[in-house]
Amino acid sequence: MSEAIGELANSKPSRLAKSNTRKVAKKAAVKSTGESGEKPKRVVLAYSGGLDTSVILKWLQDEYQCEVVTFTADIGQGEEVEPARKKALAMGIKKEHIFIEDLREEFVRDFVFPMFRANTVYEGEYLLGTSIARPLIAKQLISIARKTGADAISHGATGKGNDQVRFELGAYALMPNVKIIAPWREWDLLSREKLLAYADKNKIPVDFKKRVVGKRGGGAPYSMDANLLHISYEGGILEDPNYEPEESMWRITASPEKAPNKPEYIELSYAKGDIVAINGKKLSPAKVLTELNRVGGKHGIGRLDMVENRYVGMKSRGCYETPGGTIMLRAHRAIESITMDREVLSLKDDLMPRYGRMIYNGYWFSPERELLQSLIDQSQATVNGTVKLKLYKGTVMCVGRESKTDSLFDQTISTFDDDGGAYNQADAGGFIKLNALRLRIAANKAAGRKKK
């Protein structure tokens, strides 16, 4: 689940909590300077231009007296990223130290597609929309740090969530000695009111609009995080796991009740486990996901409301919209069903939960994830063909699958009609007896014990 990077839940810490926070902050501040005891001279900040990262930018300048390099990623969050450039310039960042990068194609091609080759879900439901974006951001932070000669990176993830782990594990895997500054583990700006007061005091240019959603709403009713794969909602009114979110919360999916009354059919073409065309039209990875989001959202596909187990130990409630990903998961399993050997498919299914935990917990760049990925990718060599899907009021149904080159489905054998001797049904008796041998031995042994 994503934590509130852009919007924060309202919270007012007690005096004891504030005191403890200051103690932790002193320790954390020392730790952030690194083993040498020297404060970083140049820091690359993952910068959205929103309230929290704008406050972090100013805080880094004041607390660490360091030069800040900003990095803003376009991973399909649906917001303009260029305003971040103007805000960074207004806060004194050098033009050459402002990086805004369009990572949508790389995100889908090198992260989303490889993950979906494994049919990955976390705890049976979550399609890892936030989790899979974090290693890409960590990768770019380190790349920019090297390019600009920075000796530290900084992020806006909170000290309670998974993102801090994902960012930092990724960073350490790519640059073992990098310094990492996590303001949420150091400062005492632990509420929205304090952040706004800090921004006002320091004349930080932030466009912050309070949203009111529903009867319970007031201020910020929930936190939202988006990319090309999904939108997540958490915190605020959603912290009550028994509270049903209002319809107005959902941004990219129609309510299934209000979705079109007529089903829509689409055909997806696969090459080595990845979608390469929709309805016969070849598309790039990012455009594939964009189109599936559009058509899936139109038909109310991909909503999820769940309670998950965070890596840091707590349970957390999150709501997700993943229309394109939901379609991709169903379609990929369908094409594998006719092109993949039974035992290979079974092995993949056994390994998938562990692979999913690796991604959720932040181990994308770990040797174990890379080892599993090579196995998964090898299994996709024969996953070629087309899948026909029916989309209707929140459901995705596979109504056809075909592979002219790699199908293992042999109709002459599987038919209920006369197969002309392709399959000798008499062979089944011996097969059954051999497989029943251990069961018969155990039954005889049990019967003997009862007699005694």
Q: Average pLDDT per run of 10 along the chain, which is 452 residues long?
A: 38 41 45 62 96 96 97 93 94 97 99 99 98 99 98 96 97 98 95 90 73 41 93 95 97 98 99 99 99 99 98 96 99 99 98 98 99 99 99 99 97 86 90 96 93 80
Asked about 407 being catalytic, the answer comes back as: no
Strands lying side by side in the sheet with 395-402: 281-282, 274-278, 264-271, 385-392, 395-402
Taking alpha carbons only, the member of 98, 5, 100 closest to residue 50 is: 5
Asked about 225 being catalytic, the answer comes back as: no
CA distance 166 to 172: 10
b/e 414-426 (16+ beta carbons within 10 angstroms → b) = eeeeeeeeeeeee
Asked about 22 being catalytic, the answer comes back as: no
At 213 the pLDDT is 36
State CA 69 to chain mean position distance: 26
Catalytic residue among 74, 163, 225, 274: 163
Catalytic residue among 32, 154, 223, 316: 223
Tokens of residue 98, six digits: 């402002």
Catalytic residue among 48, 52, 104, 166: 52
At 242 the pLDDT is 98
At 207 the pLDDT is 67
What residues have CB less than 8 Å from 387, skipping those under 6 apart?
Answer: 267, 268, 270, 331, 334, 335, 398, 400, 401
Domains and their CATH numbers in the chain: 15-221 (3.40.50.620), 224-402 (3.90.1260.10)
Q: Is 357 exposed, middle or buried (0-12, 13-18, 19+ CB in 10 A)?
A: middle
What residues have CB less than 8 Å from 239, skipping those under 6 apart?
Answer: 9, 317
Catalytic residue among 104, 134, 330, 401: 134
Asked about 163 being catalytic, the answer comes back as: yes
At 19 the pLDDT is 44
At 451 the pLDDT is 83
